[in-house]
Structure 1
Amino acid sequence: MAKYSETVALEDKTAKGKRIMDLLEPGTGERVTGRLAELDADLPRLITDYAFADVVGRPGLDIRTREMLTVAALTAMGTAQGQLEFHMRGALNVGVSREELLEVVIQMAVYAGIPACMNGITAYRAALSARGGPGQ
């Protein structure tokens, strides 16, 4: 059984993770954790507490820089199109310009190959379109 202080710490960490998720796209923290909780009650904490509170929430890099790095990694992976589009929208929401975002994708052509870059461009267009901008 968890002690009160451990429970409070977990709740604080979960809240921090959700706040970071909401910086990327408002409402994401509740939406994602709700959908994950439908599958398993502990699953949301893996995302909110570890990925967002513990890793993304670390000092040393600002959220803008972290999102550019995330977009680069997801572009290079080439296997997580939905996550790539989400993090592209998130990058734009935390101050990365459209031009900077496109440059991140283009840079990946050198390190991950042209197919990864082209998939990144597809995600870039989708992210712009989802935000109401021209995605063409």
Structure 2
Amino acid sequence: MALLPGNKFLKARQTKGIKDATGREASPLPTDKSRIELGTEIQTRLAGSPVYGEIYTFAPAIDQFLKSHLFADIFGRDNLDYQSREIATIAALASMKGVNSQLQAHFRIGMNTGLSEAQMNSLISVLKSKVGKPEADNAAEVLNQVLSNKSQ
């Protein structure tokens, strides 16, 4: 679970006398629409169009989970902007093996949020120094595929 290493990291900083500011709490989600409606709106905005695919036919419940939890409950929170969320998502995916299709999708979503090619290349540079050259090279290759498909 990612929370445990994060907590350990913060405690180590506290031991060194480093005081980290606590971020503000998120505002409540809108009450004038369901979580499915809110999640669908956010997912469509990020993807650039409504999202369909084989995964939803294979496992229809995943569509409900993604829209209501990921996009409404998490992306619907206003204490972190979409670009920052995508940078974190791209970095996490780029650090894993076997997730290039998701990495490709999140590079596209990153561009939909306004991230520039230069910003994504800067992220890849950070990955190279902090995660590793193979992961950074893979991310660069995936980004190049996304950019070449975009220009076609």
Which TM-score tier does this pair reach, normalised by the shorter chain? 0.7 to 0.9
* 2:69 counterpart of 1:50: yes
Larger Rg computed on CA atoms: 2
**CA-CA distance at 1:46 after TM superposition:** 1.5
Which structure dedicates a bigger proportion of its chain to helix? 1
Match in the other structure for 1:129: 148
Match in the other structure for 2:102: 83
* 2:79 counterpart of 1:68: no
5+ residue gaps, structure 2, are 1-30
**CA-CA distance at 1:111 after TM superposition:** 2.3
**CA-CA distance at 1:28 after TM superposition:** 3.9
Give the secondary structure class of the aligned counterpart of 2:34: helix
Matches within 5 A, 1:105-124: 105-124=124-143
Work out the number of aligned pairs and report it: 121
Q: Which moved more, 1:92-101 or 1:45-54?
A: 45-54
**CA-CA distance at 1:41 after TM superposition:** 3.7
**RMSD of aligned C-alpha atoms?**
2.0
Match in the other structure for 2:120: 101
Match in the other structure for 1:20: 42
Give the fraction of aligned pairs with identical amino acids, expressed as a percent: 24
Shift in CA distance, 75/27, structure 1 to aligned 2, threshold 3 Å: same
Q: Distance in 1 between matches of 2:131 and 2:90?
A: 13
**CA-CA distance at 1:36 after TM superposition:** 3.8
Q: Distance in 1 between matches of 2:146 and 2:82?
A: 18
- CA deviations on 1:82-119 (whole Å, 9 max, x unpaired) are 11111101111111111001111121112221100011
5+ residue gaps, structure 1, are 1-8
Shift in CA distance, 107/78, structure 1 to aligned 2, threshold 3 Å: farther
